[in-house]
Structure 1
């Protein structure tokens, strides 16, 4: 099984992470880098996917600016989502031709990696039928609550964008959007009573992604905050 690089970019604004992600996508298409998983934690930001409806942003741009929430358009699938502190965002840059050329299978693979990760921390999670992507938890007597959002882009069978798992996210920020266009509650690992370090979740999730996508993961996660100028060149 081939190795894959796992890189933690740490806290980084969305636009900067997007530039790094695009650089890796082009390098992966050219065969200059192996499959790579980028982890990042964004400051408050709302992103709109290709199918997004502006009406799913429930606050005006001036109000969002006062709250310190940026707004960006993205070329991923899906609708509107929020990223912020306490959320683990993962951007897999995978070349799928050696695995399988199947977009839905790829999305399901990422979902299963998240479900297995949560199970390891005692959280039972699931997907929903139909076209809804993401990972949910069922709470007694309540509607399913989304704990992880997914939105991907695939070009020449190289993936970008990915998932956003709520670890200890301040869930109040979701009040400013209709997450992914669905009127369902949002939750986090912390809200479900699980206290865990971001680094531990990264490591477990990396292992499960490696298993599903046939990679070798050696528990090595590089932290390249100090090398950002090189990554963006």
Structure 2
């Protein structure tokens, strides 16, 4: 698997990368990939389309600097922003011997493994995809699958501004709260360490090796060949 570690990237740009990678993966032109990044503040609406869970008029939120985007992943409305680690895995499910449900369970386990590094017990909640600490959600999961290839993925709250979740009903779950690693630990963990722990958990759970590249994918370019020359092999 090739892993791209990026900085803050606009949501629409990252969506374009995913579309390109998914099509290449379908054709067998590239291996599985993982894109790690952060987004500027944005609210994204999944296939559930429950706009009443956006608690303020879109124009008002846009004036405050929030973008609002309707996307083709599963699920309800969620928030992305600085301090949140977003992971977009592009994985061929059949080759990985996974079903869509099994894949979601895998992502949950990967995040639980990251939390265990910080001595935090992550939990699954029956009927509610994602990772929880009691009744507080620390990681949202929403995936898309196109002809057996995954896109979208997970968003782990490392140290985001949690007040930004107050403008929505996150994932439509008014009865639950939202938390972050920083909130649970009492200090802000280093983002690069969290990234490395996430990569380690992907390697362990998928039993793969990773090539880590510290550059952004280039649409239309041969990122994987370039990454093989510039990347770092992680086993």
Global fold match (TM > 0.5): yes
Q: Is the 8 A contact 1:46 1:71 kept in 2?
A: yes
Q: How far off is 1:221 after superposition?
A: 2.5
Aligned equivalent of 2:231: none
Answer 1 or 2: which has greater strand percent.
2
Q: Distance in 1 between matches of 2:219 and 2:62?
A: 27
Q: Is the 8 A contact 1:20 1:231 kept in 2?
A: no
Please list every run of 5 or more consecutive structure 2 residues that lacks an aligned counterpart in the other structure: 224-235
SS class of match (1:202)? helix
Q: Is the 8 A contact 1:20 1:232 kept in 2?
A: no
Aligned equivalent of 1:206: 199
How many residues of Structure 1 are paired with residues of Structure 2 in the alignment?
221
- Selected match of 1:133 from 124, 129, 151: 129
- Selected match of 1:18 from 6, 9, 15: 15
Q: How does 1:25-64 map to 2 (within 5 A)?
A: 25-64=22-61
Q: Is the 8 A contact 1:93 1:158 kept in 2?
A: yes
Q: Is the 8 A contact 2:93 2:100 kept in 1?
A: no
Q: How far off is 1:229 after superposition?
A: 6.0
Please list every run of 5 or more consecutive structure 1 residues that lacks an aligned counterpart in the other structure: 139-143
Two-structure CA RMSD over aligned residues (Å): 1.7
Q: How far off is 1:13 after superposition?
A: 0.7
The question of 1:150 aligning with 2:146 is answered no
CA distance change for structure 1 residues 109 and 20 in 2, over 3 Å: closer, same or farther? Answer: same
Aligned equivalent of 1:141: none
TM-score, L = length of structure 2: 0.90
The question of 1:6 aligning with 2:6 is answered no
- CA-to-partner distance for each residue in 1:108-129, whole Å, 9 max, x for gaps? 0000000011011111110101
Q: Is the 8 A contact 1:10 1:223 kept in 2?
A: no
SS class of match (1:212)? helix
